[in-house]
């Protein structure tokens, strides 16, 4: 399962980058970035997974005493939790600037924004 998730994550990163580099519409670029973001999160969680173990939550099923042999690594999960929330912030910021760009130029095509090109 971890191998499948990791391979899927890598493929999603590559597809997201491909979409971001080849599309012209700025909204499509942002959508592609969010797909790549999902891929990175998948890879990070898959690294922490261990076969035959369960989630890092202690209860009747996983008593305190044998937690070390029963749970998976909780640290990547905590980091991915952070990454998802920040990912939404970054996406919202990109969308805001895209909207502002549309308001200024009346287009979403980045090949028509040539102010800094010479």
Between 64 and 116, name the residue whose CB sits nearer to other proteins: 64
Question: Cβ closer to other proteins: 106 or 118?
Answer: 106
Dihedral-angle region of residue 54 (phi above 0 means left; psi in -120 to 50 means alpha; beta otherwise): beta
**Cα 5 off chain centre by:** 13
Determine the 3-state secondary structure of 71 from DSSP: strand
What sign has the CA pseudo-torsion 27, 32, 33, 35?
Answer: positive
CB of 26 vs other proteins, minimal distance in Å: 9
Whichever of 41 and 117 has its CB closer to other proteins, that residue is 41
CB under 8 Å to 50, separation ≥6 — which residues? Answer: 2, 72, 73
Least CB distance from residue 110 to other proteins, whole Å?
Answer: 12
CB of 115 to other proteins, least distance (A): 17
Distances (CA, A) of 16 to 19, 22, 32, 42, 51: 5, 10, 5, 13, 29
Residue placing its CB nearer to other proteins in the complex, 106 or 115: 106
Q: How far is the CB of 114 from other proteins (least distance, A)?
A: 15
């Amino acid at each position: 399962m971890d191998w499948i998730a990791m391979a899927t994550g890598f493929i999603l990163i590559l597809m997201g980058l491909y979409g971001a580099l080849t599309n012209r519409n700025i909204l499509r670029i942002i959508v592609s970035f969010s797909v790549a973001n999902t891929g990175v999160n998948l890879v990070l969680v898959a690294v922490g997974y261990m076969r035959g173990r369960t989630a890092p939550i202690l209860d009747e099923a996983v008593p305190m005493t044998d937690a070390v042999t029963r749970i998976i690594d909780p640290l990547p999960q905590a980091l991915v939790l952070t990454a998802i929330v920040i990912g939404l912030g970054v996406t919202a910021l990109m969308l805001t600037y895209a909207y502002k760009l549309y308001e200024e130029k009346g287009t979403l095509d980045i090949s028509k924004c040539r102010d800094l090109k010479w």
